[in-house]
Copies of this chain bind each other. A is one copy, B any other.
Amino acid sequence: MTLNQNKTPMNRTSVKAARLESSIGNTAKVSGWVRTRRDSKAGFSFIEINDGSCQGNIQIIAPGELANYEDDIKRLTAGCSITAVGEIKESGGKGQATEILASEIVIHGWADPETYPLQKKRHSMEKLREWAHLRPRTNTFGAVARVRNSITNSIHQFFQEDGFLYVNTPVITASDCEGAGEMFQVTTMDMEHIAKQQIEKLNYKFDFFDKPSFLTVSGQLEAETYACSLGKVYTFGPTFRAENSNTSRHLAEFWMVEPEVAFNELTDNMDLAEAFLKRMFADALKNCGDDMQFFNDRIDPDKALISNLESIIGSEFVRLPYTEAVEILENCGQKFEYPVDWGTDLQSEHERFLTEQHFKKPVILFDYPRSIKPFYMYCNDDEKTVRAMDVLVPGVGEIIGGSQREHRLDVLEGRMKEQELDIEEYWWYTDLRKYGTVPHAGFGLGLERAVQFATSMSNIRDVIPFPRTPGNADF
């Protein structure tokens, strides 16, 4: 076993590059992990390796003449790591344009087939979650990682090309904006010590921030301060919910992107959200073709993922006021588990009926009843609705939620009183309305929901590297 790969001082070629027809004739050094080895009776071996650069493997032909052929190469099993040097040749095999005829193979590490967890046999998704450190070595999780990367990259590109500034809003915050019940508390006090004592009232002077502090549930309010200074901004970072929800759609820690634009009203916000979603999905199809084909053929039960995404990219989203949505639902003849009643939130079944059965394409619902929406949404003149919007997509339901913000100080303060919020606590938020207030609007997209939608992965725990859920914070 040789560990010094640098005895061949040549730049590495990725498997992705080595698979290109245009590479034929080049001498290449390729490094990766063995997927399979097959020995020919003619005294040589086929070794497939993958390096994460793409879904496909490259086939290495290891001739029997190699010095380490009998002792090492013929012992290679799934998971071993090697570097192969050789000429890239046209391949006779199907599903691959090229292969490498190795003149040298260095073995970096073995993977004892008796104990290596990722053997040929299929493992359940649950089992693979226990091996979150190894699951990216599988086809499925490699593909998820690449599509997730494509989507995050599209997010940055989309906003950067349009002149937005990326703003990092804080993760730890002492301002509790949407109810502490669902928030994680952050502390440097010694909890075991506190438990042992009997203390009538905690003294937060002994805590790091001198007051109770929490993990953020949204960067929106902070993003508004930057939008109301610098125009077009977006936050994109981890957000947290301490909800005890053990479902396939909830994580305690997830990534959220939240654009916020000064001078935008609700229609501009819809335009932005629609263009944004289309861009993410179009890029994934363009940049991760093999991975998307894999999800289409192997993961999506309907094998319709690609055609669904293409249809969304090509469609014009329906824009439907909540009130009209209620009318459609009341008159559709469909029986729902939950009643449809103006003034209450639509249930998932209602949203799915609208987007999957009635319109059969994405729907932007807007102008929701004010009583079910947060204080910061712009109040319409009808005094019954606010300029909220939810983007619903077939199969997933709500993927984006946003609103035009209430920028009129008197109306905002009225709404805060209505919802029994402490206006003093929000002094900096109301300052934005006192000094040079402007119409503005924004929305939030949960990254993992978008990746779930783009990959048809059924459990959200499988589209984030190390999922955090009740009872799970390993790794």
Contact = CB atoms under 8 A, between A and B. Distances in A.
Interface stretch (A187-195, A311-319, A325-333, A350-358): A187-195
Interface string A167-207: 11111111100000000111111011011111111100000
Contacts of A62: none
Interface stretch (A105-113, A300-308, A395-403, A454-462): A105-113
Contacts of A184: 172, 186-188, 208
A134 interface: yes
Interface string A7-38: 00000101010000000000000011110000
B475 A175 contact: yes
A108 B225 contact: no
A253 B471 contact: no
A209 B468 contact: yes
Contacts of A210: 470-471
B253 A167 contact: no
Contacts of A434: 111-112, 115-116
A200 B193 CA distance: 9
Nearest to A107: B436
Contact of A438 (B81, B115, B188, B468): B81
A229 interface: yes
Interface string A194-236: 1111111110000011111101000000100110011110000
A204 to B, nearest CB: 10
Interface string A424-435: 000011011111
A446 interface: no
A38 B154 CA distance: 44
A466 B253 contact: no
A334 interface: no
Contacts of A14: 163, 231
Contact of A253 (B170, B225, B436): B170
Contact of A136 (B51, B225, B474): B225
Given A170-B253, A198-B198, A438 B108 contact: yes
A340 interface: no
Contact of A465 (B16, B222, B262, B470): B222
- Interface band, chain A: 35 or more
A238 interface: yes
A109 to B, nearest CB: 3
A26 to B, nearest CB: 17
Contact of A196 (B110, B152, B199): B199
A435 B118 CA distance: 10
Contact of A265 (B6, B175, B470): B6
Given A202-B195, A242-B188, A231 B52 contact: yes
Contact of A208 (B132, B156, B252): B252
A442 to B, nearest CB: 15
Interface stretch (A141-149, A274-282, A368-376, A412-420): A141-149
Contacts of A465: 167-170, 222, 225-226
A155 to B, nearest CB: 10
Contacts of A408: 3
Contacts of A196: 198-200
A293 interface: no
Nearest to A165: B149
A133 to B, nearest CB: 4
